[in-house]
Each structure stands twice: as structure tokens, then as C-alpha cells.
Structure 1
Amino acid sequence: MAQQIQLTETIKPSQLGQRTDQAIAELFPDFSRSRIKEWILAGQITIDGQPIVRPRDKVMGGEVVAIDAELEDEVRFIPQDIPLDVVYEDEHLLVINKPRDLVVHPGAGTPDGTVLNALLYRYPEIAEVPRAGIVHRLDKDTTGLMVVAKTVQSQTRLVRALQKRKITREYEAIAIGRMTAGGMVNKAIGRHPTKRTQMAVSEFGKPAVTHYRVAEHFRAHTRLRLRLETGRTHQIRVHMSHLGHPLVGDQTYGGRPKPPKNCEQLVIDALRAFDRQALHAAMLRLEHPITGEMMQWRAPVPDDMVGLAAILRQDAQDHAEEIDD
């Protein structure tokens, strides 16, 4: 059931010069900033009896803020007995090795069956931590390492470390095309202008930096090692596609099968059968949020990527003279 909310507060003199939306969020700390923003956009919050047109405008102090809105019941995520591959655990955090086909957080189209639901089942007390302690995410079909905070203090410090680029995340990937050398992509990423479920390189996006180096050449593909400075949605996939080297299996960003010339049917079949982006979070390094100890974990590359690399490697060996030419 929705609850009708009618509240009134006065902007404090000490808030002089603050943005309107920030000042209102401080006045009503029981509600999240995202909820306050929704109410402002819906015209359900007024200042001195007038709807807020520009939330970024500064307040003077003394204005009367009124909320007249409906408060929907908070979504309660259900604990579910879903196996988790826990690589490390202590009282403050845990590190998991996420498999493919597992979404990290419930959302549109995936109301449950996620990492978050699994965490709530295995660690009931983690329900007291925002987002069940999830600090960063991996795409559904990206495998590998994720850190999860078990306490609010740990989460606060880990999020801060991530924002300050003090957490190192390295990935293994197989890209389409023969890349000559490593490098860096420093291109902002934002929502795709027409395909709203996709991201794209955009001058209006948020800063995004990806470092990459060549680990192994194949005839028409390249095995890469990548390191993230930032953590934008689909960052590696978007940056590699921008370079003209989308990841194998990533049909969202152009990674359709492109077999080498004159290859065996085995190679064609392997590329066609690879039905996810060839991307794995292989290494995670961070300073423990409580003890300060520098810690590092590695997760072995999953069998599907190992198998594909082996087939592409054999193909390269079988056509070594063609490559040399």
C-alpha cells in the first residue's frame, strides 16, 4: 500500500548557497536522494508554494519546502539459496568468483535469482548494508572476481577507494582482429542516444579509461589483458568496440563470429558456439578497508575461454607460414 506523505520544513540559514536538491535532501534525511529527485521531477515538492523548475538553483535560507507525495512500499529483495564461489572471506568483506549467466543486482527483467539474493540468503545480516554490500558489478555474462562489503563501514571505505581509483581490476579477454600493440583508451562513456539499453563513447558521458596489452596473437583474434581505471557500465566492451576490436561473442557491441581465412570447421564451430562476451575479471587487488593490508586475488580463466584460445592457438600454428608472409 502506498502511504501519503505531507511534510513541511524551512531551509536553514546555514544552507545558504547550496543547490536546491541538495538542501532538500539534507532537510529530509529519511528519504534517499534518488527519491527526492523523483518527487522534484514529478512536481511533488514545492518551495514557497511553487514547483521547482531548476534543482541546481541555489537557496537563500528561509524558504518553505513542502512535500506532498505518495511513498510506495520499499522493494524487499528475497533471500535465495543460490551457490556462490567464495574465494576469500573475513568479518568485513568477501570476494566471489562470479560465473556466467548470473546477474549481480535485481532489475528490469530480472527480479530475483541474482548475486544480491544469494548474499541475503548466505549472510542475513548483510541486509543492513546498502545494496547488500555490493560495491561494483560485472555484466551477466562476464565471469570473475567481485568484492562485497559485509558491513556499512567496509562498504563506505571500499566505495571511496574505488572512486579514488585505488582498487586494481585486471581482465582477460579475446578480441576480434589482430591487434599490433597495447595502449590506452581514454574516451567518456554515456547512454547510447537511441539504444537505451546500450552504452556508447560520448563526449557527454562520464570519464572512462581502459589500459590494454596484447597477451597473445592469433591469426584473426587477439588475447588481451586489460586494466580498468574507471568502472563505467560495459566499459571494456564499449572501448574495444570503439577501437574496432569488439570482444568475441559480444553481439551487443559487434562481436559476431569472424573466422580466419581457410580455417578448419572446428574453428568456425567454436566461434559460432561462443555465446557470451569473452571477458573475465582475473585479478583484484585492494587495501583491506579495515586493516589496511594490501590483498590480491586471482581467478583462473574459465574453461570456455581457455578452450577457445586453444583452438585459435592451434589454428595459428597450423597457418604459421601464412602469418609470417
Structure 2
Amino acid sequence: MTQQELTTTIPLDKISSRLDAVLAELYPDYSRNRIQDWIKVGNVTLDGKVQKKPNFKVLGGEKVVLQAELDDEVVYEAQEMELDIIYEDDDILVINKPVGMVVHPGAGNPDGTLLNGLLFYSPALREVPRAGIVHRLDKDTSGLMVVAKTVPAQTHLVEQLQRHAVERVYDAVVVGKVISGGKVTKNIGRHPTDRKRMAALSVGGKTAVSHYRVLERFREHTHVRVQLETGRTHQIRVHMSSIGFPLVGDPVYGGRLRIPKSMMPEFVDYLRNFKRQALHAGMLSLTHPISGKLMKWKAPMPDDMLDLIDMLRDDMDDFQAQFHGYDEYDYDYDNGVEVEWVTDADIAD
């Protein structure tokens, strides 16, 4: 633990303001939540007296001594790797993360992560907690991430994320025919019996909200676009699975593979061998943490998802050409068979 003593005087015009709010303004390098924690454990004195109430109303003119405590960062190895950086300035980086890249070292992934690559690309990121990483994508989810290059930029980005002010939009291919767009509001927390998984919970967990809309329907799959209102672990994967539309290829929440009847063998093989969740963070919008400018970036879907969508398109065209005029057809499942009768109108749709 590294400690630093910070001394200042409360401005006179801050009379009747909350202590935590004033200190957050005076020390913008630290988040308000962190300052509140320091106050509560007695690390702040006003005119020599310990003050443990974050909501204490100051008078103005008091001398403040703040004992800032920062956890010592684990020293990670800088490793050279290719990074797809689509934007950079003095304060932030925006990266298009590929499928298969882990964001942060952890159990089973001690190195070879985005964090290791960032440290090689910009050694100054060692001065920023977690090398500036403020949010994550799962290993097998591709797409856009923002990285802070300075502590003030990181603090402001974290605050935006906490206020749900960062817009994140994803493309996903799900199992099932989604009829229309909608909104999922289900708390997310650890699965009650499998601690490695997350789950949609009726009691407990954290509030989670996802909005989705239909982009294109196939015979038994749908291309949807999902916008996050919150950012919980595995949120899209859990939410879409909870309403009966798991992501294609999801090894944790996907359930059994669903294969439309009479699908060409090469298409069946492609679906069976799509081993990662079909999810891509394609759009990111935020307020620049220093300039205050609204910024937006887009990244196209990776080739495997584009190929998946093309295959599902071709399968629908092939089936309609082969069975044009038939009144009904059925579906096979990967395990067992279930019949679903569909009219000509449904085929045309």
C-alpha cells in the first residue's frame, strides 16, 4: 500500500457543501467513491480533527489533510503484440479487440493479454491503474474498448460508466426467430449453484437493462443489435438466453445447437463448429474525459460473424428455392427431433 499526504484549504465559496464533493473537485485524479472510502476510515482531518462523515457540510476555510492510500499495482510484463488501435490522443486509446484476446491477466491467463500489450505499446501506462483499462470484453467477444492514458482521464471515464453515460452497441446472432425488438430488465448476479456463471435473478444481483432490435431474420436464427443501458458481466449473453434467444456458439449460456431441417451439410458443419459467442461490440460513444467533446467510433463485424450471417442467408435462400410452394416444413434439433409447423406466409417472411 502506497500512502501520500495531501494538504489543502477548503475554498470559502464551498460553505454548506458536502465534504466528499468538495474533495472530489479539489482532487480530480481520484474518484468520489474512493474519497468517500478514505473519509469513512478516518483518513481525512479538518483543522486537525478527524471527520468520518462524507456528507459533512463544510464551512469554508478549513485546513484539510487527506491520507491517500493506493494499492500497489502488480508488476505485469510488457509484451509485444499487434493492437488494432483505431483512435489515439494524449488522453485515451480506442482499440478494436479481436476474438480470443483476454483483457486482463487472471487465473489461467497470466500473460498474453491486452494489458500486457498495452504496457509494451505505451510504457507510461504503468502509471495508470490497470494500465488504463476501464471496462472489459469477454475473451471471445470482439469489438471496441476505450483505454485511459492518464489517471484523470481514467477517473472521468469510470464516472461516465457509472452514470451509464457511455453508449455501447453490439451485434449478435441468436438462436430462434425474434419477432420484434424489446427491453430486458433483469438483475444479474452469480449463479446460485455454479459460481463460474452469471444468472438473471429475481432476488439479489445488480440492476441490468438491455435494449434489442431485429436487423435480419433467418430460418431459425436472428441477427439482433443490442444496446447496453448497464454493463454487467456477461450481460447480453445472460439476458438474451433468459428470454429464450441464446447467442449462437455461446459455450456457457447457449444450450443445445438448433439445426433447421434440410440444411446443407456444409452449413450444418459451420454452425456446429462456431465455437464462440456470436457477439461484437460494434459501436462506442462517450464524452471525451478531458476535452468534453462527444465522440463516436464504429468497427465492422469480424469475418467469422460476417460468414455466419452470409451462411444463414444462403441457407434461407436455398430452402425457399428447394421447397417453394410447400405448405409446411419441420425442424431438426442437434439432439432429438421436434416438429414446428410453418405456413407459406412464415416462409415468405
Q: TM-score range by the shorter chain?
A: 0.7 to 0.9
The one-letter code matched in structure 2 to 1:275 is K
Alignment of 1:1-325 (within 5 A): 22=37, 26-27=41-42, 75-202=74-201, 203-320=203-320, 321=324, 323-324=347-348
| Cα distance between partner residues in 1 of 2:90 and 2:236 | 32
Tell whether the 8 Å contact from 1:98 to 1:143 is kept in structure 2 after alignment: yes
| Cα distance between partner residues in 2 of 1:155 and 1:163 | 12
Q: How far apart are residue 24 of structure 1 and its match?
A: 8.2
| Cα distance between partner residues in 1 of 2:189 and 2:174 | 22
Q: How far apart are residue 160 of structure 1 and its match?
A: 0.5
Q: How far apart are residue 73 of structure 1 and its match?
A: 8.1
Q: How far apart are residue 83 of structure 1 and its match?
A: 1.3
Task: Write out the 4+ residue segments of structure 1 that deviate beyond 6 Å after TM superposition.
Answer: none
Name stretches of at least 5 consecutive residues in structure 2 with no aligned partner: 2-18, 21-35, 45-70, 325-343
Cα distance per residue 1:36-70 (max 9 Å; x no partner): xxxxxxxxxxxxxxxxxxxxxxxxxxxxxxxxxxx
Cα distance per residue 1:218-247 (max 9 Å; x no partner): 000000001001100000000011011100
Q: How far apart are residue 25 of structure 1 and its match?
A: 6.2
Tell whether the 8 Å contact from 2:262 to 2:319 is kept in structure 1 after alignment: no
Kindly name which structure, 1 or 2, has the bigger radius of gyration based on alpha carbons: 2
Question: What's 2:63 paired with?
Answer: none
When residues 116 and 234 of structure 1 are mapped into structure 2, their CA distance, relative to the original with a 3 A threshold, is same
| Cα distance between partner residues in 1 of 2:233 and 2:81 | 25
Q: How far apart are residue 79 of structure 1 and its match?
A: 0.8
Tell whether the 8 Å contact from 1:201 to 1:238 is kept in structure 2 after alignment: yes
Q: How far apart are residue 28 of structure 1 and its match?
A: 5.9
Aligned length: 266
Q: How far apart are residue 22 of structure 1 and its match?
A: 4.4
Tell whether the 8 Å contact from 2:73 to 2:129 is kept in structure 1 after alignment: no
Q: How far apart are residue 288 of structure 1 and its match?
A: 0.7
Tell whether the 8 Å contact from 1:102 to 1:115 is kept in structure 2 after alignment: yes
RMSD value over aligned CA atoms? 2.2
Tell whether the 8 Å contact from 1:135 to 1:155 is kept in structure 2 after alignment: yes
Q: How far apart are residue 109 of structure 1 and its match?
A: 1.2
Cα distance per residue 1:132-170 (max 9 Å; x no partner): 100110000000000000000101111111111111000
| Cα distance between partner residues in 2 of 1:136 and 1:218 | 33
Name stretches of at least 5 consecutive residues in structure 1 with no aligned partner: 4-13, 16-20, 30-71
Q: Specify the SS of the correspondent of 2:79.
A: coil
Q: Specify the SS of the correspondent of 1:319.
A: helix
| Cα distance between partner residues in 2 of 1:172 and 1:216 | 11
When residues 214 and 189 of structure 1 are mapped into structure 2, their CA distance, relative to the original with a 3 A threshold, is same
Identity %: 57
The one-letter code matched in structure 2 to 1:234 is H
TM-score by length of 1: 0.78
Q: How far apart are residue 129 of structure 1 and its match?
A: 0.9
Q: How far apart are residue 26 of structure 1 and its match?
A: 3.5
| Cα distance between partner residues in 1 of 2:254 and 2:173 | 13
